[in-house]
Structure 1
Amino acid sequence: MYSSKPCGMGQCGMDVVLLLPHPFSLIPISSRSSVQSLLVSLLDPLLPFFSPLKSRIKCPGATAVRFDQSASEVEGICRPLWGLACLLAGGGEYHAKEYWIEGIRNGVDPEGEEYWGYPRDNDQRMVEMCPLGFALGVVPGIWEGLGDKGRRDLENWLGNSINEKNMPDTNWLWFRVFANLGLKKNGGKYSQERLDRDIEHLETFYRGDGWSNDGPEGIHQMDYYSSSFAIHFLQLLYAKLAGEDEPARAAEFKKRAQIAALDLAHYYDAEGRSIPFGRSVGYRFAMVSFWGAIAYADIELPAPLTWGMVKGIVLRHLRWWQTQHDMWSSSGTLTIGYSYPNMYMAENYNSPGSPYWACLAFICLAVPQSHPFWTSQEEDHWPVLPPIKPLPQPGHIMVNLGTHTFLLSSGQACSYPMKGTHAKYGSFAYSSSYAYSVPPGLFTLEQYALASQLGFSDDGGEYWKTRRLSTSHLSTTPDGTPVLISEWKPFVDVHVKTYLLPPVPGATENWHLRVHHIWAEGREVMTADGSFAICNESTQRDSKGRYLNWYDAEKGEGTSPKLIGNYDLATPEAWADGEKGAFAVHAEKGAVGIKALEGGAKRRANLVNADPNSNLVESRTTIPTLQGTIKKGERVWYVSGIYARPGGDKKEFLKGWENVPEIPGWLREEIAKTS
């Protein structure tokens, strides 16, 4: 939590409080014991928020969610169990572990004042049964500490209730598996028939190449739920805990993880950052839990990965989160958001206790000290991976070139239209350096914040529509380059075919191509094609914290054309010819930009001053953007070159800006025959 101390009395008569860095940020991470301390720094700030009988935690924040307040507070106590259970299972200790045992005993008591409540169909309580079931399976002291009545109450609440209720046809089914498994491991009453039936159904989610979908046929959603948040993670825990009884199933789950590991390694950059993609990224460092689970399940790593590389992925990831000092509440608890508190990005199921699903990352603490995960020296995994790798199952092309780790994406969509779903799944590119942006409002480009998206407006620029649902496929060009092709409709009578091409190693490796063939069959539309979003706060002494100014090569910072405020876009110097393009350079974050490569000066370039708090990492951003208009009935080709160069010498951030990539010959032929 934030350490604080009174600094005297202010004029208003109230104590002045000095906030110091969170203890989480001050722990040098190198060993198992240091990661144990890291977890303790997360758990300690929760202790003041336990209810009198310890059965609930009401985390700071009065925000509501789609489920009831009681379930929100059950979430508050159960989610930290992921970390606490891993700590205890690995031989560690925690001074307040009895809080959780007492809380469970009182929470499942149907006559008690703090009874958790009998779950209904599709109840959030079912989600929280998963960490509880896992904790029962790996920490015998919990079951023993409940007493005879507490154990009977838990059997009724955990087993009977969840086995007779309906659940969403998603990764949720794993939660019921672990509720039954936890009881089974302790000799409690459980349903083997229900457990087997759920796993058999979950097997229908498997798509091949190690990947499972988060749902049945008709849904294409392979985000972190397919790996670290739920499916792969829980498959590996199941293989570990139930492997003796089901060796064939355990072996299959381990085999899938071995295959997927060579894909999933591409989602983490050399600095430890993961690529934010999809929903629930507010679970933060849970995005790395797959790698600890591989060690926990005693898997043999696929070549060329080593345990030093796996350890490096995990520890560098945790260290990067240590640098995100604004993600805490004043009480030291995690907030809803990513790098800072942000309700715009939140899903309707994110309660104040929801972020503690992040504790999945501490599965590594259940791994013995003698395991090579802990005894190996850290290594970087990128030197042994291909710089470009197509992934057919998620519909991604993974890229690590020019100091930039990112992915191109097509075809995914959440099964329901959640807030910002077009940004979380429908963007063309997702970067570890330049996180995606969500709309904080629905009026003008500034509020839509179309980073790595193509937007269409038929009302003069007030409302915009982007790619959400699309049909797509991964193809290979004649020269062997992977390309993602998607077809989609922002309006029923506007047709778009988009081609996404990764960078070419060498002189243009900081560029990727985004090509659109658009037919405005039934209406005239305005278009806006955005690059990555970048921090819009100057580092210069004379304007520190203000918006970026004109580009100054000596300072290595600024924009071209000029960045103008939201209300004076008619200013001539705010616009440039599309072929000249628009870019923004930040002295610490690098450079991003966009150019129109189709010729003919059909589009103009400017900097969209995105509304604050739209981006996951940077609270103030600007987005270099190409804008144009397509008349009703017109067919056009847009060829956008997207530039990004994070890291390195600031005076070289624009080194490749003038050296644009060539349009491949096969694509020129495609454009020629359809123009």
Structure 2
Amino acid sequence: MKYKLIFAFLLIFTQLANAQNKKTTTGAEDRAIWVKHLYRIAYPVIYNLANETLKKNMPVEKAPGYGLNAAKVTYLEALGRTVAGVAPWLALPDDETAEGKLRKNMRTELLKALTNSVNPESPDYISFRSESQPIVDAAYVAHAFLRAPKALWEPLDETTKKRFIEEFKSLRTRTGAYNNWLLFAGLSEGFLLSIGEQYDPARVQFAINKMKEWYVGDSWYSDGEKFSMDYYNSYVIHPMLVDLLKVLVDKKKAQQADYDLALKRMVRYSEYLERIISPEGTYPAYGRSITYRTAAFQALAQVALMEKLPEYVKPAQVRGALTKVIYNLYNGNQNFDDKGWLVLGFNGHQPEIADIYTSTGSLYMATLGFLTLGLPADNKFWTDAPAPWTSLKAWSGETIKKDYKVEY
């Protein structure tokens, strides 16, 4: 009966989402598109892990030249990256709408999934304790807990909480790449600090200090000592740096000015992301890890979620731009296999463009572009009248704001 209800709810969202075929859509129709596609992406991971069949049922496709031990890393990738993206949406309170019931069902299953993931007796136990890659994906689990503590952390039983804490602390036996990976290590420690656990201040401070050193100007951070032109400022750097500093400020371990500056830089970076969305709802496929798809817009989605968009970037124009991107990528079947799992590629099955660290689990970073679903349906992001985004206005001959570098 439960799954018949889920099917009925998804049918409702499909009918609403089909409105994207019109020239303009309402905020409610846009939201239905977001809900439908986030649920579609996240459901196989959460449902299977809740039922202890993730390792049995998730395909493990690997990039040509793949260099990791997929069996030891891909399942944590799938879990961490999925929960980090769905967390703000699942943090909304329950209600009796079709969306509310769908959301409650996913939250209930995710709590089972999280419990199974750290239970050594479960066939889906996911260890953090070997390989370097878990440093990355444990941080996405931690990020989910920071984004939705009352929905995803506090309801866990004490045994499960203790197991997660032990898994996080086990990461201290390893190190990783000398780049954005420093933030992964720092964020996991920041989560431990946030819940009153013993944490490693050196890992936290090293991450903060290096990000400050690697700032190159106009909202861009270098990903390590040499600059890379890619989306890692959005995949990782801005969101994790801002949220780590928030924990430190709340615990009186950092200055408010440090957080304010990092946030200001992320807001500026979000302007770039909004501007690169074409009038047709496409964006440049450049740099490493383009198989992460909508994760390229995590920083923009988070700034909108925080209601910190620049004055000239209206919430409705961000909604319209991201809705078009989401629709273009996920309304068809080109990015899914016949069982609903994401496939290696950017917009289709294109394994040749996947990086040597990319497998099926890696792809669930895509959920990070949906963070703004954490705003309730009556927020102006969803209720304001449709508005054209910057490139749509520019190519239509409308007036747009001139863009200049900033000095902070």
User: In structure 2, do the counterparts of structure 1 residues 289 and 27 end up closer, same or farther at CA, with 3 Å as the change threshold?
Assistant: farther
Residue 138 of structure 2 corresponds to 129
Contact residue 180 and residue 237 of structure 2 kept, 8 A: yes
**In the alignment, structure 1 residue 315 sits paired with structure 2 residue 323:** yes
TM-superposition CA deviations, 1:281-319 (whole Å, max 9, x none): 1111122222211122332515x3222322222222212
Contact 1:51/1:57 (<8 A) preserved: no
Q: How does 1:494-573 map to 2 (within 5 A)?
A: none
CA drift at 1:351: 0.8
Q: Which residue of 2 aligns with 1:396?
A: none
In 1, distance between residues paired with 2:210 and 2:135?
Answer: 18
Report the TM-score, using the length of structure 1 for normalisation.
Answer: 0.49
SS in 1 for 2:76: helix
Instruction: Write the mapping of 1:379-398 to structure 2, written as runs, cut at 5 A.
Output: 379-382=388-391, 383=394, 384-385=399-400
State the aligned residue count. 366
| 1:27/1:70 CA distance change after superposition, 3 Å | farther
Instruction: Spell out the pairing of 1:197-596 with structure 2 (5 A cutoff).
Output: 197-216=206-225, 219-226=226-233, 228-238=234-244, 244=250, 245=252, 246=254, 247-302=256-311, 304-377=312-385, 378-382=387-391, 383=394, 384-385=399-400
Equivalence for 1:75? 77
Bigger helix fraction: 2
Structure 2 spans left out of the alignment, 5+ residues: 1-12, 21-26, 94-99
1:369–1:180: structure 2 CA closer, same or farther, 3 Å change rule? farther
2:91 corresponds to: 89
In 1, Cα distance between equivalents of 2:243 and 2:117: 25
Q: 1:62 to 1:235 in 2, by over 3 A?
A: closer
What are the Cα deviations for residues 516-541 of structure 1, in whole angstroms up to 9, with x where unaligned?
Answer: xxxxxxxxxxxxxxxxxxxxxxxxxx
Whole-Å Cα distance in 2 between the matches of residues 171 and 24 of structure 1? Answer: 41
Structure with higher strand content:
1
Greater RCO (CA < 8 Å, at least 6 residues apart): 2
Deviation at 1:49, TM superposition (A): 4.2
Deviation of 1:58 after TM superposition, in Å, equals 5.0
Q: Distance in 2 between matches of 1:67 and 1:95?
A: 34
Contact 2:50 / 2:109 at 8 angstroms: preserved in 1?
no
Deviation at 1:325, TM superposition (A): 3.3
- 1: distance between equivalents of 2:31 and 2:401? 34
Contact 2:85 2:144 in 1 (8 A): no
Residue identity in the other structure for 1:333? W
Q: How much does 1:269 deviate?
A: 0.6
Once the two structures are superposed, residues 598-649 of structure 1 have per-residue CA deviations (whole angstroms, 9 ceiling, x without a partner) of xxxxxxxxxxxxxxxxxxxxxxxxxxxxxxxxxxxxxxxxxxxxxxxxxxxx
SS at match of 1:344: helix
Secondary structure of 2:371's aligned partner:
helix
Residue among 140, 152, 157 paired with 1:142:
152
User: What TM-score do the two structures reach when normalised by structure 2?
Assistant: 0.78
Alpha-carbon distance, 1:177 to partner: 2.5
Query: How far does the alpha carbon of each residue in 1:55-102 deviate from its partner, in whole angstroms, 9 at most, with x for none?
Result: 757522443742221311222222211232121123352414344333
* Aligned partner of 1:154 among 164, 169, 172: 164
User: Which position in structure 2 is the counterpart of 1:178?
Assistant: 187
CA shift for structure 1 position 192: 3.6
Gaps of 5+ in 1: 1-21, 394-675
Distance 1:243 1:268, change over 3 A: farther
State the distance in 2 between where 1:350 and 1:178 align. 22
Q: Is the 8 A contact 1:236 1:294 kept in 2?
A: no
Query: In 1, distance between residues paired with 2:107 and 2:309?
Result: 33
Deviation at residue 337 of structure 1 after TM alignment: 0.7
C-alpha distance 324-391 of structure 1, shift in aligned 2 (>3 A): farther
C-alpha RMSD of matched pairs (Å): 3.2
User: Deviation of residue 23 (structure 1)?
Assistant: 5.9
Answer yes or no: is the 8 Å Cα contact 1:54–1:106 preserved in 2.
no
1:117 correspondence with 2:116: no
- Percent identity reads 21
Amino acid at match of 1:74: L
8 Å CA contact retained: 1:171, 1:231? yes
Secondary structure of the 2:183 match is helix
Report the Cα distance in structure 2 between the residues aligned to 1:155 and 1:48, rounded to whole angstroms.
24
What is the deviation of 1:128? Answer: 1.1
Contact 1:212 1:222 in 2 (8 A): no
Structure whose CA Rg is larger: 1
Alignment of 1:158-169 (within 5 A): 158=168, 160-169=169-178
- Do 1:207 and 1:213's aligned partners in 2 also have CA atoms closer than 8 Å? yes
Do 2:273 and 2:297's aligned partners in 1 also have CA atoms closer than 8 Å? no
